[in-house]
Structure 1
Amino acid sequence: MNFKEKTIVSGSLNRIRRSPRKMRLVVDIIRNKEIKNALNILKYSKKHNISISLRKLLLSLLSNCKKKYIEDDFDQKLFYIKEIRVNQGRTLKRLRPVPQGRGHRIRKRSSNVLITLVERKYM
């Protein structure tokens, strides 16, 4: 089946207080999926805190797409996630006191997510 791809919307979410390594576990599951399937996967994911952030971002992208391209034939089923990347964001450095007057460094990592949605048009 031949189809033509047209990049529609891309969006990002920065400084999510989750480590990139944990975010990538969820992101790898929804990569190259249709929007409807991805939203269902995120809804029932066991990584609840991470999936909430990604689900909000996907719903926001769909809403922006509807506003940007006001069309009567807008169909959510034609959209799929072409690209989704998780990069490391800012790291907060904290100290935890340990015996004998020392301190161990605690790194609180954050991540940045970039999503590109594509509309698939069948010919």
Structure 2
Amino acid sequence: MEVKSTYKFARISAKKARDVAREIQGLPVSAAIDALTFTPKKAAFLIGKTLKSAIANAENNFELDADDLYVKEAVIGEGPTFRRFKPRARGSAGAIRKRTSHIFITLAPKAEA
């Protein structure tokens, strides 16, 4: 049985978050939390929140033991881009794209692996 958790509209670009997500794929849950705790990036904090939410979903909704879970996949999708404009030279405007992302984490018991 797979357990999923989603964090939508995270205020970080998908490109930056994917680097951190690749590090935890396939790891046991305890090792993934340790890796995220000691990774000094904003994406690690946001992915850690989503991972802890997935663990809570597994324990409370599906009555699974957290020690038997591993990160089956951690996917970062692109969310909508907020467009802002900054004044530039000679009366023009420069676009500033504030990118967002959607974080999807799937956990599965080790017995399925």
TM bucket (normalised to shorter chain) is: over 0.9
Q: CA RMSD in A?
A: 1.4
| Structure 1: 4+ residue segments shifted above 3 A | none
Give 2:96's match in structure 1, choosing from 84, 101, 106. Answer: 106
CA distance in structure 1 between the partners assigned to 2:43 and 2:21 by the alignment:
9
Structure richer in strand, relative to its length: 1
Larger radius of gyration: 1
The offset of 1:95, in angstroms, is 0.6
Supply the distance in 2 between the matched residues of 1:109 and 1:19 (Cα, whole angstroms): 5
**What is the CA-CA distance between 1:121 and the residue it aligns to?**
2.0
Q: Find the aligned partners of 1:24 and 1:17 in 2 and give their Cα distance.
A: 14
TM-score (structure 1 length as normaliser)? 0.85
User: Which one-letter code corresponds to 2:16 in the other structure?
Assistant: K
- In the alignment, the residues of structure 1 paired with residue 10 and residue 44 of structure 2 have an alpha-carbon distance, to the nearest angstrom, of 12
Match of residue 21, structure 1, among 15, 20, 31: 15
Unpaired stretches in structure 2, ≥5 consecutive residues = none
Unaligned runs of 5+ in 1: 1-6
Which is bigger in relative contact order (C-alpha 8 A, separation at least 6)?
1
Q: Share of identical aligned residues, percent?
A: 28
Structure 2 length-normalised TM: 0.92
Count the aligned residue pairs. 112
Structure 2 residue 54 is the aligned partner of structure 1 residue 64? no
